[in-house]
Amino acid sequence: MNCRILGIKGNWREVADAARTTVGKDAGEGEPSSSWKRRMLLAEHSPIRLLNISWKWTDLLSWVSVHFVRHKFGIEHFVRSQRTDRTGIDRDELKQSELITHQCEANAQAIINISRKRLCRKASRETRRAWKTFLASIQRDQPELYSVCVEDCLYRGYCYEMEPCGYYRSEHYQVALAEYRKGINEEANNEQRTVRRNMGSIRGQGNAIDD
């Protein structure tokens, strides 16, 4: 099974400008910082849906393809037909283990959502491998998106599966959770601390004047 990126529609400047529009600002210039990209993806605000990635799996197990077709929001699927009149092979004779071609186009939000289910250790090993292969193919060009694509227990901070695998109890999970949450609200917290310090200084000055 192989995965190849076909193209990317939209760019981070467009994502940032759409975000600026929502807060009444004009378009900006240059590439947004890596920190901003990651925080925007973690916040999952609507502008991230402007970033769309197209890819193609080849030699994908037919039954694994069926798993991915279950995902329908923010993603389109184009799967090689197995119809008898298209292939010349009796469809009833084909097994679920037949290797097929499966092409997709999905936005960043959909990729995050799919990761929550298909990276889960309760998903089939073959499906997890196919999704990990796709994510590995975007890691170099979209490292921020890659970094926020995690299984549901990391995303939500706990496992909500009816029959948990137990990963959330492991030391590795705690390390992975800390890494996923790294930097979340860091800049906002720094700004709040600065405001509190300034307010404290102002109050101090006020007390001195009253005295």
Is 163 a domain residue? no
Q: Cα torsion at 182, 11, 140, 148 (round to 10°)? A: 30
Number of folded domains that form the chain: 2
Global pTM reads 0.85
For residue 125, the SS3 value is helix
Q: How many C-beta atoms surround the C-beta of residue 207 within 10 A?
A: 9
Q: Are residue 51 and residue 111 in the same domain, yes or no?
A: yes
pLDDT digits (tens, 9 = 90+) for 153-210: 999 999 999 999 999 999 999 999 999 998 887 765 565 565 566 555 544 544 443 4
Specify whether 46 is located in the same domain as 12: yes
Do 178 and 82 belong together in one domain? no
- CATH number at 101 reads 3.30.1360.170
**Tokens at residue 8, please?**
């990317």
Task: State whether 30 and 114 are in the same domain.
Answer: yes
Within-domain flag for 129: yes
* pLDDT per residue as tens digits for the range 48-100: 999 999 999 999 999 999 999 999 999 999 998 666 667 666 566 657 778 89
CA distance 123 to 152: 11
Residues 178 and 121 in one domain: no
Structural domain containing residue 195: 170-211
Rounded Cα distance, 47 and 22, in Å = 9
